[in-house]
Amino acid sequence: MDVLIVGAGSMGTWFGDAIDARVSFADVDGDAAAAAAERVDGSVADLEGGRTYDVVCLAVPMAHVTGAIAEQADRAERAIVDVSGVMEPALEAMERHAPDLERVSLHPLFAPERAPGSIAVVRDRSGPATDDLLASLAARGNELLETTAADHDEAMETVQAATHAAVLSFALAAESVPDGFETPIYEELRRLARQVTAGTPRVYADIQATFDGADAVADAAADIAAADSEELEALYREAAANWHGGSDADERDADDGETDRDESGGDAA
């Protein structure tokens, strides 16, 4: 099977390496296409027109996936897929521009260097070509998570947009502290802040532009900042109910290294 991968970044390179097929890369950056082809023993293809392929995979930023599908769909003979990370717009564009082809949207829920991992999969119009590709991904140790485009995109509002907004907000608001003052929660947030800020800014900007979620984080932070003691306790209980099935957080001892106040007003040991 011949596969054209449009987009020779880290995700496109990962996909080319993870499938069992003859792979060609096309990219606006010719050097990137050549590097990706060399890494997976593939070849370089013309970005604008040229030969057709059994499968065309769009591995472009989510902000550009619908345009790329419109431009590249006629180069696919059997199937068109994407790994952009947003599913409803991508699949709508596939159906519009490739109504007779197999259509699958994939979202690897990990950075390429952390592969294998879970891959969200929507089989909008499956068939033998896409079944073979998915079997290749599963054979490499990836877990295929079958879903719908609507469920995926709604989940990404929390899993990506809200999560990234919370971590980036901490990274912007936090100040340096003397060595030895770290708590386990702070240590974990510091680790996450370093991990997120080591990434590609455009990727995080695209996620915020595509999915809602940041506003909810901002609203929650504003509520916390404006709350008095009783209101903050109520917000704490609401948060605990979201994550602990309604158990009363005040009845549990802290196990995260933070300090609780005892009844005398002193710090618990």
pLDDT in tens, 185-211: 999 999 999 999 999 999 999 999 999
**Residue 245, pLDDT above cutoff 50:** yes
Percent above pLDDT 70 for the chain: 91
What does the alpha-carbon distance between residue 268 and residue 253 come to, in Å, rounded to a whole number?
Answer: 10
Please state the rounded mean pLDDT for residues 12-38: 97
The 3 state secondary structure assigned to 1-46 is: CEEEEECCCHHHHHHHHHCCCEEEEECCCHHHHHHHHHHHCCEECC
Q: What is the mean pLDDT of residues 246-257?
A: 48
Predicted confidence at residue 49, as pLDDT, reads 76
Confidence (pTM): 0.87
Q: Decide: 125 and 149 in contact? Cβ < 8 Å.
A: no
Q: What HEC string does the chain produce? A: CEEEEECCCHHHHHHHHHCCCEEEEECCCHHHHHHHHHHHCCEECCCCCCCCEEEEEECCCHHHHHHHHHHHHHHEEEEEEECCCCCHHHHHHHHHHCCCCEEEEEEECCCHHHCCCEEEEEEEECCHHHHHHHHHHHHCCCEEEECCHHHHHHHHHHHHHHHHHHHHHHHHHCCCCCCCCCCHHHHHHHHHHHHHHCCCHHHHHHHHHHCCCHHHHHHHHHHHHHCCHHHHHHHHHHHHHHHHCCCCHHHCCCCCCCCCECCCCCECC
Q: Name the class of domain 2-147.
A: alpha beta
Pairwise pLDDT comparison (261 vs 248), residue with the higher score: 248
Q: Mean of the pLDDT values across residues 92-119? A: 96
Residue 108, preceding peptide bond in cis (omega within 30° of 0): no
Burial of residue 90 (CB within 10 Å: 0-12, 13-18, 19+) is: buried
Res 246: pLDDT: 55
Residue 261 has pLDDT above 50, yes or no: no
Closest CA to 185 of 261, 266, 260, 255: 255
Judged against a pLDDT cut of 90, whether residue 253 lies above it is answered with no
CA distance linking residue 93 with residue 224, whole number of Å: 41
Q: Quick: pLDDT tens for 37-92.
A: 999 999 999 998 789 999 999 999 999 999 999 999 999 999 999 999 999 999 99
The answer to whether 6 and 60 have CB atoms below 8 angstroms apart is yes
| Chain segment 117-139, per-residue pLDDT in tens | 999 999 999 999 999 999 999 99
